[in-house]
Amino acid sequence: MSVARALEGLLSARWAIQIVVTLTIPVFMLAHRLPHRPDTKLRGAVAILALFVLCVAPVATGVVRGLGITESSAVFTVLLAIYALLIMWVYDTGPWPAIFCATAGYTLQNLASGLEVLCAILASHRSSGELPEPWSIILGFGIPLVVYVVGYLSFVRQIDRNGLAGVGDKSMLAMFLVVVLVIINFDILIKSLSWGSVKYTSLILLRMVHSVLCAFVLFAEYEILYARRMSDEKAETERLLAERQRQYRLSKENIDAINIKCHDIRHQIRHFADEGDVVDREALKDIAREVNVYDSVVETGNEALDTILTEKSLACSQEGITLSCIADGAALGFMAPSDIYSFFGNALDNAIEATRAIEDPERRNISLNVARRGSMVAVSVENFYAVEPQFDGDLPRSTKGDDANHGFGVRSMRGTVERYGGTLHVGTNDGVFYLNALLPAK
């Protein structure tokens, strides 16, 4: 008898089970992209079990037989907060990402629930939307499944793990209030009207408005996240530009000092040779060759380009890489020195990193060309590579395995080129990686 009662209680609590299942799936579908704890799976299982006990047990045992309008609003608001707290407990994250996952997941569930009711109303031609079995079960789980698949492809998949972990905007608190006031309470209001004498067509219209509101809230949350990421990327790019400017000043000072020192050493060598002192001439030749490495000044007609090319020529010599330059530096006179240093520094750093992994000495070379073509200036950097680069859209992915914190170099170069009204294109061809920029010579 007790088993029969338990089964009867579970059947009566089917609506509560459906709410927990359809709400837990989208919430944790979003939260799963957060940084995990060592025991995240165990914590997740405990959290889901706790949700079922908290939400289903009172209905299955008869303690709760139904919810009025006020009780529904309070219960679902508290449930939304509980989901946010559970996400913080299960995953290694703070309050704002947790609120994002809870509110976005709840909105996705409400969108599925609203569309389910709308389909039931249209299928039954009644405001109550009551359908016979098994159609009510098919709609109850089929519509959410379709909505979640579409939501994953169009919304969840666009959010990478590090991007979601970086949510730190207090506007998430405002989104929590929006979901409570607009999504939850509007849904409850529509359900209460369906029990009254509201017109069939009016109820359909209200359900369509509710679906549009849910889609708009999801769009607004994504825009908040996207704007935050763009702000972080802009700040990081500006920091890198400032660092490049500092490096440019230091490099110029160091290269000038090295050139002066090399000039003095060369004169000393000539003095020893002219005086006829007992000095090993082969040793003098070795010293001269070493000095020539450090005295590898590149002269292109542009001081900033000379500085960066001299610095990178020295780096290539130490790595056993050949850097071939044919550059008309004067053609870049319209660019700020810091932009020249940043752009060519990033381009050559990436080329050196890719070439460094090549074992064949015949392929350990980088070519750089800067030339004026009519009213445009063309810049080309080419190098072989040992590992096939992967692309995210039209830009190469970072080789450091952390796209959120690396890969700003290419984006910085594109930003520099576009700031001067030019275009940047990167790609591969027959084992050669190429970077081509075209800028109007203002």
What are the DSSP calls for 52-113, one per residue? HHHHTHHHHTTS-----HHHHHHHHHHHHHHHHHHHHHHBS--HHHHHHHHHHHHHHHHHHH
* 249 within some domain: no
- What pLDDT does 10 receive? 39
Tell me the C-alpha distance between 353 and 366, whole Å: 11
Could you list the residue range(s) of the whole structural domain that residue 20 is in? 2-236
- Do 342 and 213 fall within a single domain? no
Q: Are 387 and 357 in contact (CB under 8 A)?
A: yes
- Do 219 and 359 fall within a single domain? no
- Do 189 and 327 fall within a single domain? no
What is the per-residue pLDDT across 119-153, written as a single tens digit (0 to 9) for each?
Answer: 888 877 776 667 667 777 777 778 888 888 888 88
Tell me the C-alpha distance between 30 and 159, whole Å: 9
- Residue 97's SS3 state is helix
Q: Which residue has the tokens 């949700």?
A: 51
Q: How far is CA 128 from CA 14, 372, 405, in A?
A: 18, 74, 52
Q: For 91, which DSSP code?
A: B
Tell me the C-alpha distance between 302 and 372, whole Å: 14
The better pLDDT of the pair 286, 194 is held by: 194
- Do 52 and 148 fall within a single domain? yes
* 250 within some domain: no
* 59 within some domain: yes
Average pLDDT, the chain: 77
Write out the E strands in 132-211: none
* 243 within some domain: no
- Do 163 and 311 fall within a single domain? no
Domain CATH number, residue 422: 3.30.565.10
Q: Which residues share a beta bridge with 259?
A: none
Question: How many folded domains does the chain comprise?
Answer: 2
- Do 231 and 304 fall within a single domain? no
Q: Which residues share a beta bridge with 186?
A: none
* 263 within some domain: no
- Do 225 and 343 fall within a single domain? no
* 251 within some domain: no
Q: What are the backbone dihedrals phi and psi of residue 377, each rounded to the nearest 5 degrees, phi first?
A: -120, 125
Q: What angle do CA 109, 111, 116 make, to 5 degrees?
A: 95
Average pLDDT, integer, range 83-93: 89
- Do 183 and 311 fall within a single domain? no
* 289 within some domain: no
* 278 within some domain: no
The better pLDDT of the pair 236, 387 is held by: 387
Q: Which residues share a beta bridge with 373?
A: 376
Which pLDDT band holds residue 210 (cuts at 50, 70, 90)?
Answer: confident
What is the per-residue pLDDT across 400-429, written as a single tens digit (0 to 9) for each?
Answer: 544 433 345 788 888 888 888 899 999 888
Pairing assessment for the beta strands 432-440 and 423-429 based on DSSP bridges: antiparallel
- Do 125 and 17 fall within a single domain? yes
Question: Which residue from 84, 162, 131 is spatially nearest to 407, judged by alpha carbons?
Answer: 162
Q: Which of 220, 236, 252 is the C-terminal boundary of a domain?
A: 236
- Do 222 and 343 fall within a single domain? no
- Do 178 and 31 fall within a single domain? yes
- CA of residue 67 relative to chain centroid, distance: 42
Tell me the C-alpha distance between 328 and 301, whole Å: 7
What is the per-residue pLDDT across 285-317, written as a single tens digit (0 to 9) for each?
Answer: 655 555 555 545 567 888 788 878 887 887 888
Q: Which residue has the tokens 């079960």?
A: 137
Which pLDDT band holds residue 369 (cuts at 50, 70, 90)?
Answer: very high
Q: Which of 204, 236, 268 is the C-terminal boundary of a domain?
A: 236
- Residue 404's SS3 state is coil
Q: Are 110 and 147 in contact (CB under 8 A)?
A: no
Residue 116, pLDDT above cutoff 80: yes
Write out the E strands in 344-375: 365-373
Residue 259, pLDDT above cutoff 80: no
Q: Which of 190, 206, 236 is the C-terminal boundary of a domain?
A: 236
- CA of residue 280 relative to chain centroid, distance: 61
- Do 229 and 304 fall within a single domain? no
Radius of gyration of the chain (CA): 33
Residue 106, pLDDT above cutoff 70: yes
Q: Which residues share a beta bridge with 426?
A: 435
